Structures are given as structure tokens and as C-alpha cells.
Homo-oligomer: A and B are copies of this chain.
Amino acid sequence: METLWDRRYAQRTQRMASSVIRELLKLTEQPDIISFAGGLPSPDVFPVDDFKAACDRVLSTSGKQALQYSTTEGYQPLREMIARHTARYGINIGPDNVLITSGSQQALDLIGKVFINPGDHVLTEAPTYLGALQAWNAYGAEYVTVPLDDDGMDTDALEMVLRTGPKFIYALPNFHNPAGVTMSLERRRRLIELADRYGVPIIEDDPYGQLRYEGEHLPSLVALDSQFREETGGSYRGNVIYLSTFSKILAPGLRLAWVIAPQEVIRKLVQAKQGADLNTAVFTQMVAHEVSRGGFLDRHIWLIRRIYGERRNIMLEAMEQYFPSQVSWTHPKGGLFLWGTMPEGWDSADVMKVAVEKKRVAFVPGGSFFPLGGGKNTMRLNFSNASDEKIREGIQRLGEILHELVETTQK
């Protein structure tokens, strides 16, 4: 039935058309499907009992505060905790540099609202995080891209693209979503140097930084930027806005994330957030603070690392065993995802359809992650959500499909 609203959509609404991925993901919700398609943490690692105790304590001691409206900036003790945590890495910030958001998705949305004029060019990696594109398309962003390889963003290609004058750089240096790669220290330094030379600021999106399963922690872009000039002595330069989240280290159901930014940027983001949702639920902020206190978070991250690291190993071993040699994949040192590349000319969306129909196994076709198109022969696989057995079983099934396709195309 037509209503008066139907012809009144804004132009930007055309750019928000429901993604192919979302339609595909609906297929994967049937219970008999083994899905590597989502980006869900494993519910096995949710500290449910700790949450129960924390809810009880928060409501018993501060129930009236927890259920009332609150400040847009976020719950002050949580901002202080994040500032202290950030300072561990030699970045000299205070709670006034921290904004609590309703998930990192809201941080991306507010950044789009505050910085992007229609037609502005945002520099992203290709592939890049789909949620950022979803957020920024609504503000009329256009994109310029730099390719990735096993060492992350290709900084040789970067300089040429920086000359086109993008508004800002969007980078995911650790355990990239979707590509599963990590930017080398050398390239991180080069990125900071080039960004400085061309005067282009950086958004560093780091949801998985603490979920490393091998190798040593590399300094974040925000830390490197702070150390860039010796005379600053590691204080916060402010040219990198840093995003992270409780979704992957505690629980995504809280919808809690944070932004580290210069105070003036925080002020603008706060104004935008006032109009977007007034404030993030203070109850969940207080519960997250209560759960995290006393070293719990460090211990809990250690547990998550062990479980996800094991699942990554199982997936990699199964791929080694079951995938045809014509398919290659990344070896992620952390995070939630790995990235497969099928032979040129294959369409992973078609493979996905066959895989779901014939073998009840799902992944995300990689094409949607490329802002300017391409990547049709790529796929993203999540290894955090399914159980060890399901991972083996699912990769075996997917391998069967891929072997069949290799044979068909060789005929």
C-alpha cells in the first residue's frame, strides 16, 4: 500500500540501499548452516556470571543514577579508565580526549556527520571495513583507495593517492577486517610520515588490537604520531583519531565503544551525538566499568586470545587440508577474520550461493568490501564464532565445493 512517505525519501537514502551482504546473511540464519559469514564474537567467552554480579552491584549501589539520563560525553569513571589504559601505550591523553559511543558504528557515523561534506574524498584501504562505507555513504562520501598486501596498506601506492587531497585516511592497521593482515611497523612509520607531509589526518580503527595470537604488539598509529617529533616527548599530537570497542573484548550486546580525539574534535562529536541519541545508556556503561575493574579485563582478554587463537589454527589447518591449491588465503596474527582469494574470473557471490544451497556453509563474498569495485574473486571467513568441530566440518564442505569448481573450470 502506497503512503505519503513513499516519494519523500532524501537523496542520500538512495545510497543506503540494503546491501547484498545483508540479504545473503539472512540465508545464513537457518540453524543447519555453518556460517563463517558474520563477525560475531563467540558467546562461549561472554562472562555472563560476572555481568550478573556487576548488574546487581550497580543497581544496588547506584540504581537511580544508572537508570537516569546522563552526559553525552559518557560515564566519567569509564572515560578515566580508558584514558589510563591508553596512557599505558605512551599516549598522553586525559578523559576529556575520550568519548563513549553506542558501538564503534556510532563513532563512524558521528565522524561522517562532523567531517564529510557531500563529494568529499575519503582515503580507505581496498578492501576496507563495510560499516565505515555504510556510515559515510549517507553523508555523500566518495572514495579513493590504496591496496593492501600481507604487510597491510601499500604505502608506496599511498603517496600518489595522497596527492589527490583526500579529507582523511581511514586505516585498520591490526588484523584487518576483512583482509586479516597487519600493517608492518615500517609501513606504520611511513604512513605517519606521509600523512604529516601531505597534511592529511588519520582515523585509526582498532577493534581487535588486543586480540593478538602470535608475534609482538606493534605501536598504534596514534602512538607513533605522538612520538613522531622527538620534541613532543610522546604527548598526543591529535592528528590521529583512534577508535576501539568493548564489543570484542567484553560483549557486543552492550554497544559500547570509544573515540580518542583532540578535545575540540570531541566537542564537535558530542554536539553531533546530542542530536543522534543524547547519550549512550549509562547503565551499560556502569556495568562495563564494574565488570572491567580490578584487572578482570586483562585476564579475560587472555582467555579470549587462547580460544580464538586455537580456532584460527583449526581453520588454517583445515584449509591446508581441504582447499584446492588454486585458492590462497591470509594468515592472520590476530583478530576475527581471514581472507581468501580464488582464481581470477571466479565470482565469490556465485560460489556463496552454491555453498549455501548444496553444502549449507556460508562466508561473505569479498566484492562489497571494495569501495571502487573489484575483488569479486575474494571471500571473508570468520573464525571466532563457530565451534572447533563446526570450523573443521564447514571448511571441509567449502573445500568440496571449491574442488568441484576447479574441476568444472578446468574442463
Contacts and interface: CB of A to CB of B under 8 A. Distances in A.
Interface of A: 1, 3-6, 8-13, 16-18, 22, 38, 40-41, 43, 46, 48, 51-52, 55-56, 59-60, 63-70, 102-103, 105-106, 108-109, 113-117, 120, 131, 134-135, 137-139, 167-168, 199-201, 237-239, 241, 247, 251-255, 261-262, 264-265, 267-268, 271-272, 274-284
Contact of A3 (B108, B251, B264): B264
Contacts of A106: 276-277
A70 B64 CA distance: 27
A4 B268 contact: no
A183 to B, nearest CB: 20
Nearest to A286: B253
Contacts of A70: 253
Contact of A52 (B59, B168, B261): B59
B69 A51 contact: no
A64 B51 CA distance: 11
A9 B200 CA distance: 13
A51 B64 CA distance: 11
B68 A114 contact: no
Copies in the complex: 2
Contacts of A69: 38, 40, 247, 252-253
A6 B265 CA distance: 8
A238 B51 contact: no
A281 B255 contact: yes
Contact of A13 (B6, B13, B199, B272): B272
10 contacts: A1-B238, A4-B239, A8-B201, A46-B68, A52-B55, A109-B277, A134-B275, A135-B276, A255-B280, A255-B281
A268 B14 CA distance: 9
A59 B51 contact: yes
A264 B237 CA distance: 46
Given A52-B59, A138-B275, 14 more contacts: A1-B262, A8-B167, A12-B117, A16-B271, A17-B271, A18-B267, A51-B67, A68-B251, A109-B277, A137-B275, A138-B272, A277-B277, A281-B284, A284-B284
A52 B63 contact: yes
A102 B277 contact: yes
Contacts of A67: 43, 46, 48, 51, 251-254
Contacts of A12: 113, 117
B239 A3 contact: yes
Given A199-B4, A253-B69, A114 B10 contact: yes
A8 B8 CA distance: 31
Contacts of A134: 274-275
Given A52-B56, A114-B13, A271-B18, A253 B66 contact: yes
Nearest to A198: B4
Contact of A56 (B56, B168, B265): B56
A48 B66 CA distance: 9
Contacts of A43: 64-65, 67-68
Contacts of A131: 275, 278
Given A3-B238, A46-B64, A113-B138, A277 B255 contact: yes
